[in-house]
């Protein structure tokens, strides 16, 4: 087996072991030295490691090494790249999270470390307006050099992938199953187009893993982690796209939502995110570029953005960066951070409100517009 180290084989075996997730797997490796050493260590010694215990220790079984070898044979036959979390090709946006999978399976040409990434998610049953909005967003994103990330699902995900292919934009599909099961089955042709063109697919699951319900929140967290920004197009108040947005907020990613009518159930999720200040209202790609400080490819938008930020003082720029990173701060927090009195801080915030950069919320909290 070419370019496959013994350590990778044992890492794969460890990742296939039930009840041994990324966090516990790293704990075992850090304690034993290597993944190979984990399998050489007696169960009674493993059981003494914090958070392991006798039951989990007994699960570390050499039979999973055989499964790893089977997985490698399948990968070689199907041009699948196997990446462990220490590989330079492993997604840098994902690597620093404790939960990041120890092993990923990647197929296709899309880079896992592009300069810019935008995740597009939404309902599996979009309205016609939702479909057109998704296509328009992707079409406009073609001008700013991004890779579009989504989940290969019916609806908004599939529309985003298909339009990306049409526009020649690299697009990466994150799977909730192994490579042997394309889900939904109707997306087999889409899957082929993605891996044969500039796109690709990525999964943390071994190839025989089916599209089990528990896998999709895991997939959603990967979408959130890999995306510099997440756009929610249409969503009910609960669903996978809202879970993805929640993950993105937890990871301090920028979230955008397309607003809709208050009586439209497919707008409840997006409107709720905006209302709770968990997403910025987005009407066009220019809104995303403004907040992300990306060149939209349109000279007018670029000129406005450049002029705006050129007028910020050094202190105002630091304040803007902090509010954007923290998704808003209270006046007391800002006073402590900048060593200013409430009066001094309020004056600075008022100046930025006049410039249309921040706004105040109830409870003396301030957020970036």
Per-residue pLDDT tens over the stretch 74-86: 999 999 999 999 8
Lowest mean pLDDT: which of 62-66, 68-72, 141-145, 365-369? Answer: 365-369
Q: What per-residue confidence (pLDDT) applies to 287? A: 94
> What are the chain's domains?
1-76 (1.10.150), 117-292 (3.40.50.450), 311-368 (1.10.10.10)
Cα separation values, 297 from 137, 233, 309, Å: 14, 22, 18
Inform me whether the pLDDT recorded for 131 exceeds 90: yes
Residues 150 and 120: beta-carbon distance below 8 Å: yes
Could you read off the pLDDT of 200-253 as tens digits, one per residue? 999 999 999 999 999 999 999 999 999 999 999 999 999 999 999 999 999 999
Using DSSP bridges, classify how beta strands 229-232 and 200-203 pair: parallel, antiparallel or unpaired.
unpaired
What does the pLDDT average to over 55-80? 95
The reported pTM is 0.79
The predicted pLDDT at position 309 comes to 52
| pLDDT band (50, 70, 90) for residue 1 | low
* Distance between CA atoms of residues 18 and 96, nearest Å: 23
H/E stretch holding 157 reads: helix 156-167
How many Å apart are CA 329 and CA 307, to the nearest integer? 25
Q: Determine which of 4-18, 32-46, 184-198, 341-355 has the lowest per-residue pLDDT on average.
A: 341-355
- In this predicted structure, the answer to whether residue 299 has a pLDDT above a threshold of 50 is no
161: helix, strand or coil: helix
Please give the pLDDT value at position 323: 86
Q: Is-contact 20 28, C-beta < 8 A?
A: yes
Neighbouring C-alpha atoms within 13 Å toward the C-beta of 68? 26
């Amino acid at each position: 087996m070419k370019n496959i180290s013994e350590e990778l084989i044992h890492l794969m075996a460890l990742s296939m072991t039930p009840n041994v997730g990324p966090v516990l797997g790293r704990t075992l490796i850090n304690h034993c030295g290597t993944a190979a050493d984990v399998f050489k260590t007696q169960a009674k010694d493993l059981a003494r490691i914090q958070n392991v215990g006798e039951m989990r220790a007994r699960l570390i079984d050499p039979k999973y090494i055989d499964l790893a070898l089977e997985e490698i044979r399948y990968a070689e036959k199907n041009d699948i790249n196997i990446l462990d979390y220490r590989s330079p090709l492993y997604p840098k946006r994902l690597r620093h999270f404790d939960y990041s999978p120890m092993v990923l399976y990647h197929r296709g040409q899309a880079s896992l470390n592009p300069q810019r990434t935008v995740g597009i998610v939404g309902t599996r049953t979009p309205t016609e307006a939702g479909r057109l909005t998704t296509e328009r967003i992707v079409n406009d994103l073609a001008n700013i050099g991004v890779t579009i990330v989504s989940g290969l699902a019916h609806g908004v995900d599939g529309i985003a992938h298909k339009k990306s292919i049409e526009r020649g934009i690299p697009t990466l599909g994150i799977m909730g199953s192994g490579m042997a099961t394309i889900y939904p089955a109707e997306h087999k042709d889409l899957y082929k187009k993605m891996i044969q063109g500039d796109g690709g697919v990525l999964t943390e699951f071994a190839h025989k893993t089916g599209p089990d319900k528990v896998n999709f929140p895991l997939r959603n967290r990967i979408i959130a982690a890999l995306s510099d920004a997440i756009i929610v197009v249409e969503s009910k108040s609960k669903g996978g796209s809202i879970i993805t947005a929640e993950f993105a907020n937890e990871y301090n990613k920028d979230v955008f939502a397309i607003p809709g009518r208050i009586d439209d159930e497919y707008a409840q999720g997006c409107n709720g995110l905006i209302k709770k200040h968990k997403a910025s209202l987005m009407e066009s790609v220019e809104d995303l570029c403004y907040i992300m400080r990306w060149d939209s490819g349109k000279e007018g938008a670029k000129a406005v953005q450049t002029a705006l930020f050129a007028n910020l003082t050094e202190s105002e720029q630091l304040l803007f960066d902090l509010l954007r990173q923290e998704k808003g701060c209270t006046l007391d927090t800002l006073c402590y951070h900048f060593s200013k009195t409430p009066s001094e801080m309020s004056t600075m915030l008022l100046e930025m409100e006049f410039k249309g950069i921040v706004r105040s919320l109830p409870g003396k909290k301030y957020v970036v517009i």
